Chains A and B, each alone.
Chain A
């Protein structure tokens, strides 16, 4: 082998293949240029273990450039990432130390921490602008006694909330905490109530609170201000929980599964509206602030220009055109056609900046119901829809468009939230029915639907529902206690499926085609019955090919709807809704 031969040669004579002999001559220069890696040039990522350049970490918003892991961010760096440059005006920068229990050694520890990190407390608060939007901001800093909440943390946050209420501004809180400040004992516990009640007042004043959960958010902070956001966002893979994982493991004597209490776990369990990466937070938060500005929304609605480029005569004539000659059963089949566009297809065309918000804040996030805020020609609206899948995998995620109770509870939460902030609501209905499964009954499917009907009747904004495919029974009605209900020409809306109807009345589900003819479930039948107000004509059955044309028609009609409702008072809107259903 070449290696062996050459190695031997190197050993024999130092100057044949080695420069060792000559190095001593050159070594006079050695020591002049000793390479030295500066301290802190490299860090080791505590997620992937790889070496990473400190500078790259900073440029990458304090995330590992290799594995994408999220590092904790110092409070003032957070302000730099989020706020418009130079806009942050800090409040209560020098709150004096308090030691309510006269806890020995606490003062010294606090002073040392203050000195070490040049921070007064575990939270900073102040006024800022985020993409031009004014907001009050609090940011917790995990370096300061694990950002635990004692009197001063609670006080700074409470003062910030109160000031936001007074100034009629939204508040954004970046949460991070190990929990209560042990050294302050029961006084620390009281901070939970103190902050929570301040948020209640802020909310009752019609103002927005966005809570951003970062790694880790635990204990008393989770059980108070962190979980009270009108919108709750989380950074990816953050630990979020009430009891810490170690406490849980010790109590139940079991190992916790991978991903337990992480942001993604909370999203799945319905407690987080969205997981937002650090690079998008400024954009998402500023957009949410705009979407929750009551006064601006009211202005946008009042000044909504319904007739932008619509030829009114054409629109009305268009509406009056007769539809296709199809049997009810044919329409049933069309309404269920897997190639029929789903809610998301219409949402993408009709609205801008759809920001999906997840979860029922109770049990889970149902894939069969989607919802969020969006713009309709510049007007902020809340969009809620039943979503079917496009393929088997997607359909499993969407549960074939059959919502679980958590789906209705999500819809309800978003509708109430829309009502609170004066944002009109548009619902898209497309469901075979509410999911009839064991878990549905365990979690109160009936209660969830009933609650939708109950609350929807009182929402003080215009509500419009459009049946785009199947309108299956109570599962559909839960999103249709609206000022107006419209249907696509080939959609159906019924007390139950023709198959179910046939098996009850004719004892034979195969007689569904006949049943469909007598059930009065087509758009034109329902219009004659006064159950719906409008039919959106389908020249050809809705498909990917004609969705643009169909959406344009829908767009004009929705614009016309807002034109008709923009000047109505909340009382008029709820009264009309009451009368609409009172008449049946």
Chain B
């Protein structure tokens, strides 16, 4: 086991990792920017090293400063957390060259999975279902129609150079396909000066389902069930839960096995997440693989009973997985709300500033992962997430009740937060009824997406 680990991150995830290290009897080394002198991770770690100015490109993304810090304190491993350098293959490679264990997969895998089309091809080759679509650019409506028929309607027509919904059309059937194609192509031509198009199967009301996997260096891979992260605002997750109530044990088995197969196909090591789109008809398609620990990992920890951070550290130190597939029983229901320093009334504008007062809920099945405290000043330089509130109940109903209660008690004064927004979601009938898909927020909370162009 390691004697000392450096955490190349900040905020709640750095605190989460420091706590795990402390429990394991491993010394922790925090790195911090000039703006984070009083951040909780800086205070809680056994050692703390300043690595640069507030701007993250000069500090938390500054590879030479972080590697030098690790070498200076003789840290044997670096935990990258999420964001920043966590999916940077070059950083992982530099760690390896400097005889520092990067707590995560190899640079080669990070690189492979970071390239969307390569990841897709790798997964398709391993027999993982991917969204059917055209591989080559299309220019002609007649030829495109033949392809669309092959894929099966409904299809979505997208501009190769596209983005932001422009040059994009959904065609429900053969009727009107050509018109839709030509209209999208015209938009693409005008908007991006590129009229090459491609077609994909259109998934109506999809759910964003991701499977947590954990792999050791001996080729053992387990999956720890799924998380439903469909509730998103502009592709940002707002609330996550586990398990997903429309996934039957048989489907979980099938999707989980696919995720394990995918991980084995690339020789994966450490924690990872396989993201799928789940269709209403329960077909599922690979979207991408995240090669890091994720923000929403605590919901999985609640329902599986596995401490993912500790498992990451153990596996990185060359130990075998502490759990076997047959040991893993998904039990109960967990929900996480992300509390951010942002103002929903002002298009979720970030609101840094000083926290004047704070009250945190507690009790049976309530967990808080956070780096904030009374009198703490939230710097404007980083992600606005303040706190993760995670609850655990025997079933979804109890978890919802617990989240309602906990959110009702949560007080953060001095800065604007999205607590009320989360409260509205958890109290909505649509959420309670489980009418969930990736368009949940625009559908049920249109007042919160005004001015949003991406939806």
Using known A-B contacts A1-B375, A3-B43, A26-B26, determine if residue A35 contacts B98 with beta carbons closer than 8 Å. Answer: yes
Q: How far is the CA of A25 from the CA of B22 in the complex (A)?
A: 13
* Interchain CB contact under 8 A, A20 and B27: yes
B328 at the interface (CB under 8 A from A): no
Q: How far is the CA of A22 from the CA of B27 in the complex (A)?
A: 8
Complex interface bits, A28-66 against B, C-beta within 8 A gives 1, otherwise 0: 011001111110011000000001110000000000000
Closest to B63 in A: A53
B223 at the interface (CB under 8 A from A): no
* Interchain CB contact under 8 A, A35 and B22: no
Using known A-B contacts A35-B74, A36-B99, A37-B68, determine if residue A26 contacts B1 with beta carbons closer than 8 Å. Answer: yes
Q: Which residues of the other chain, B, contact A7 by a CB distance below 8 angstroms?
A: 43
Q: How far is the CA of A26 from the CA of B64 in the complex (A)?
A: 28
B28 at the interface (CB under 8 A from A): yes
Q: Which residues of the other chain, B, contact A34 by a CB distance below 8 angstroms?
A: 74, 76, 99
Using known A-B contacts A29-B1, A29-B3, A51-B64, determine if residue A35 contacts B46 with beta carbons closer than 8 Å. Answer: no
Q: A27, A37, A51, A52: which contacts B71 (Cβ < 8 A)? A: A37
Complex interface bits, B43-66 against A, C-beta within 8 A gives 1, otherwise 0: 110100000000000000001110
Known: A7-B43, A53-B64; 20 extra A-B contacts, CB below 8 A, are A1-B375, A17-B22, A19-B28, A22-B25, A23-B26, A26-B1, A26-B25, A27-B3, A30-B74, A33-B76, A33-B101, A35-B70, A35-B71, A35-B76, A36-B98, A41-B97, A42-B64, A51-B65, A52-B64, A53-B94
A18 at the interface (CB under 8 A from B): yes
Q: How far is the CA of A6 from the CA of B18 in the complex (A)?
A: 15
A252 at the interface (CB under 8 A from B): no
Closest to A4 in B: B43
Using known A-B contacts A19-B22, A19-B27, A35-B75, determine if residue A2 contacts B43 with beta carbons closer than 8 Å. Answer: yes
Closest to B77 in A: A33
* Interchain CB contact under 8 A, A19 and B94: no
Q: Which residues of the other chain, A, contact B70 by a CB distance below 8 angstroms?
A: 35
Complex interface bits, B286-316 against A, C-beta within 8 A gives 1, otherwise 0: 0000000000000000000000000000000
* Interchain CB contact under 8 A, A6 and B44: yes
Q: How far is the CA of A20 from the CA of B44 in the complex (A)?
A: 13
> Which residues of chain B (18-34) have a CB below 8 Å from chain A?
21-22, 25-28
Closest to B373 in A: A2
Q: Which residues of the other chain, B, contact A29 by a CB distance below 8 angstroms?
A: 1-3
* Interchain CB contact under 8 A, A33 and B99: yes
Q: How far is the CA of A17 from the CA of B18 in the complex (A)?
A: 10
Using known A-B contacts A3-B38, A19-B21, A20-B46, determine if residue A38 contacts B3 with beta carbons closer than 8 Å. Answer: no
B262 at the interface (CB under 8 A from A): no
8 closest residue pairs by CB, A with B: A22-B25, A51-B64, A33-B76, A35-B100, A26-B3, A30-B3, A35-B71, A37-B98
Q: How far is the CA of A38 from the CA of B75 in the complex (A)?
A: 16
Q: Which residues of the other chain, B, contact A6 by a CB distance below 8 angstroms?
A: 43-44
Q: How far is the CA of A52 from the CA of B375 in the complex (A)?
A: 38
Q: Which residues of the other chain, A, contact B138 by a CB distance below 8 angstroms?
A: none
Interface size class on chain B is 35 or more
Q: Sample 16 A-B pairs with CB under 8 A, ordered by A number.
A: A2-B373, A2-B376, A19-B25, A19-B26, A20-B27, A22-B25, A26-B1, A34-B74, A34-B76, A35-B71, A36-B99, A37-B67, A38-B98, A41-B97, A51-B64, A52-B64
Q: Which residues of the other chain, B, contact A51 by a CB distance below 8 angstroms?
A: 64-65
CB distance from A29 to the nearest CB of B (A): 6
Q: Which residues of the other chain, A, contact B101 by a CB distance below 8 angstroms?
A: 33
Residues of chain A touching chain B, judged by Cβ–Cβ distance below 8 Å, are 1-3, 6-7, 17-20, 22-23, 25-27, 29-30, 33-38, 41-42, 51-53
Closest to B64 in A: A51
Residues of chain B touching chain A, judged by Cβ–Cβ distance below 8 Å, are 1-4, 21-22, 25-28, 38, 40, 43-44, 46, 63-65, 67-68, 70-71, 74-77, 94, 97-101, 373-376
CB distance from A12 to the nearest CB of B (A): 15
Q: How far is the CA of A200 from the CA of B219 in the complex (A)?
A: 71
Q: Which residues of the other chain, B, contact A23 by a CB distance below 8 angstroms?
A: 3-4, 25-27
Q: Which residues of the other chain, B, contact A36 by a CB distance below 8 angstroms?
A: 71, 98-99
User: Which of A19, A30, A51 is packed against the most chain B CB atoms within 10 Å?
Assistant: A19
Q: How far is the CA of A310 from the CA of B246 in the complex (A)?
A: 69
Q: Which residues of the other chain, B, contact A27 by a CB distance below 8 angstroms?
A: 3
Q: How far is the CA of A33 from the CA of B77 in the complex (A)?
A: 9
Q: Which residues of the other chain, B, contact A2 by a CB distance below 8 angstroms?
A: 40, 43, 373-376
Q: Which residues of the other chain, A, contact B77 by a CB distance below 8 angstroms?
A: 33
Closest to A23 in B: B27
Q: How far is the CA of A53 from the CA of B93 in the complex (A)?
A: 12
Q: How far is the CA of A25 from the CA of B27 in the complex (A)?
A: 11
Q: B25, B65, B75: which contacts A25 (Cβ < 8 A)? A: B25
Q: How far is the CA of A6 from the CA of B40 in the complex (A)?
A: 10
Q: Which residues of the other chain, A, contact B21 by a CB distance below 8 angstroms?
A: 19
Q: Which residues of the other chain, A, contact B98 by a CB distance below 8 angstroms?
A: 35-38, 41
Q: Which residues of the other chain, B, contact A3 by a CB distance below 8 angstroms?
A: 38, 43
Q: How far is the CA of A213 from the CA of B70 in the complex (A)?
A: 43
Closest to A34 in B: B74
CB distance from A511 to the nearest CB of B (A): 51
Q: Which residues of the other chain, A, contact B100 by a CB distance below 8 angstroms?
A: 35
Q: How far is the CA of A51 from the CA of B77 in the complex (A)?
A: 22
Closest to B38 in A: A3
Q: Which residues of the other chain, B, contact A52 by a CB distance below 8 angstroms?
A: 64
Closest to A51 in B: B64
Q: Which residues of the other chain, A, contact B43 by a CB distance below 8 angstroms?
A: 2-3, 6-7
* Interchain CB contact under 8 A, B71 and A33: no
Q: Which residues of the other chain, A, contact B63 by a CB distance below 8 angstroms?
A: 53
Closest to A41 in B: B97
Q: Which residues of the other chain, B, contact A53 by a CB distance below 8 angstroms?
A: 63-64, 94
Q: How far is the CA of A29 from the CA of B25 in the complex (A)?
A: 13
Q: How far is the CA of A18 from the CA of B47 in the complex (A)?
A: 10
Closest to A18 in B: B46
Q: A1, A26, A41: which contacts B94 (Cβ < 8 A)? A: A41
Q: How far is the CA of A42 from the CA of B94 in the complex (A)?
A: 10
Q: How far is the CA of A30 from the CA of B2 in the complex (A)?
A: 8
CB distance from A582 to the nearest CB of B (A): 52
Q: How far is the CA of A19 from the CA of B46 in the complex (A)?
A: 7
Q: How far is the CA of A33 from the CA of B374 in the complex (A)?
A: 39
CB distance from B49 to the nearest CB of A (A): 14
CB distance from B172 to the nearest CB of A (A): 41
Closest to A26 in B: B3
Q: Which residues of the other chain, B, contact A19 by a CB distance below 8 angstroms?
A: 21-22, 25-28, 46
Q: How far is the CA of A52 from the CA of B65 in the complex (A)?
A: 11
